[in-house]
């Protein structure tokens, strides 16, 4: 199967099997796509869906988010995890208003210059919002391409220039078809060519997959250990943020002391939140970033 046929097969499969996700609706716009890509980076689709809808209902355009405080962005982020993304999205909205009149730019260079927008997100927005031809390479695509092209059971731990080159070689020449192929490769990697149990019998690329043709059809086994959460600083940070999200004004340290018994770990988690710019100190109390302390009556 040539690379042209390979992309065509992937697109054909995608047209029939892609999940019906709201950020894929035609004409949804670049801002909703950008928000979805940031949310999806470290959070599963099922948890992103309600958060994405709430976020876009409240801030349908970058201008709306930029006019609000970073604290409100952190509040709306809720329990999606890795809340620095909320702060970066707010910074991104401010930059979009200042540099681009409140619009998401179309150029890769301008996209990459935005706060919180890395190589993957910039390419995803350029491809999925603007139909451009760019290799969009996430973990799932790297694994898929490693198997199909190189016959390897998995890709390396992070995206390398060679991954972009290998993926770009699979894209059709026409930009809109290339963008569709990118979406198809991502979906195939997420749903069919999974890390632990690839469903080769259902795969449209099976006839030309080097890994399958090499005879190694058994699942490659777990590639990552699930991350521990209970008892970690992440859990403590989550509890501290939960209290601050609920509060309408500065929260005294003594109140935060109640969320976790280990003084050292709690202090470390709070220091991390302050260092990350998510929390600020007001005298001996804490507030979410950019939140004005309540004034005395
Ligand atoms: S044939 Fe199997 S290993 Fe190859 S791309 Fe398809 S699902 Fe992945």
- How far apart are the CA of 121 and the centre of ligand 1, in A? 25
Residue 214: CB atoms within 10 A of its CB come to 12
- Per-residue pLDDT band for 296 (boundaries 50, 70, 90) equals very low
- pLDDT(227) > 90: no
- How far apart are the CA of 117 and the centre of ligand 1, in A? 30
Going across the sheet that includes 279-282, the strands are: 251-252, 285-288, 279-282
- Per-residue pLDDT band for 205 (boundaries 50, 70, 90) equals very high
- pLDDT(297) > 70: no
- pLDDT(218) > 60: no
- How far apart are the CA of 190 and the centre of ligand 1, in A? 12
What tokens does 3 get? Answer: 């690379």
**Mean pLDDT to the nearest integer, 96-114:** 98
Choose one of 140, 142, 154, 198 to mutate for the ligand 1 pocket test, by most ligand atoms within 8 angstroms of C-beta. 198
- pLDDT(36) > 70: yes
- How far apart are the CA of 206 and the centre of ligand 1, in A? 6
Counting from 1 in the atom list of ligand 1, the atom nearest the Cα of 144 is 5
Within its chain, how far is the Cα of 273 from the centroid? 20
52-70 residue pLDDT tens: 999 999 999 999 999 999 9
- The residue whose CA has the least distance to atom 4 of ligand 1 is 209
- pLDDT(221) > 90: no
**Ligand 1 surroundings by CB, under 6 angstroms:** 144, 147-148, 192-193, 198-200, 203, 205-206, 209, 211-212
Among all residues, which ones are annotated catalytic? Answer: 37
- Residue 293's pLDDT is what? 54
- pLDDT(96) > 50: yes
Q: Choose among 31, 34, 94, 36: nearest CA to 65.
A: 94
- Residue 155's pLDDT is what? 84
């Amino acid at each position: 199967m040539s690379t042209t046929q390979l992309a065509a097969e992937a697109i054909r499969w995608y047209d029939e099997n892609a999940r019906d996700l709201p950020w894929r609706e035609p004409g949804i716009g670049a801002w909703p796509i950008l928000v979805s890509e940031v949310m999806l980076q470290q959070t599963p689709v099922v948890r992103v869906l309600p958060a994405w809808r709430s976020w876009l209902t409240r801030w349908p355009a970058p201008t709306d988010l930029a006019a609000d405080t970073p604290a409100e962005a952190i509040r709306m982020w809720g329990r999606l995890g890795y809340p620095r993304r909320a702060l970066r999205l707010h910074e991104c909205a401010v930059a979009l208003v200042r540099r681009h009149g409140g619009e998401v730019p179309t150029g890769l260079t301008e996209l990459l210059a935005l706060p919180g927008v890395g190589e993957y997100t910039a390419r995803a927005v350029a491809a999925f919002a603007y139909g451009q031809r760019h290799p969009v390479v996430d973990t799932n695509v790297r694994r898929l391409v490693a198997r199909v092209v190189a016959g390897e059971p998995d890709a390396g731990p992070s995206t390398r220039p060679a991954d972009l080159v290998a993926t770009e070689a699979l894209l059709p020449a026409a930009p809109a078809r290339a963008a569709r192929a990118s979406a198809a490769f991502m979906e195939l990697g997420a749903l069919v060519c999974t890390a632990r149990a690839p469903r080769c019998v259902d795969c449209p690329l099976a006839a030309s997959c080097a890994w399958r043709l090499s005879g190694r059809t058994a699942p490659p086994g777990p590639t990552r250990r699930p991350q521990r959460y209970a008892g970690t600083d992440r859990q403590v940070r989550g509890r501290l943020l939960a209290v601050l999200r609920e509060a309408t004004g500065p929260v005294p340290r003594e109140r935060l002391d109640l969320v976790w018994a280990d003084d050292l770990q709690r202090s470390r988690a709070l220091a991390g939140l302050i260092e990350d710019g998510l929390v600020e100190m007001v005298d001996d109390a804490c507030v979410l970033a950019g939140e004005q302390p309540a004034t005395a009556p």
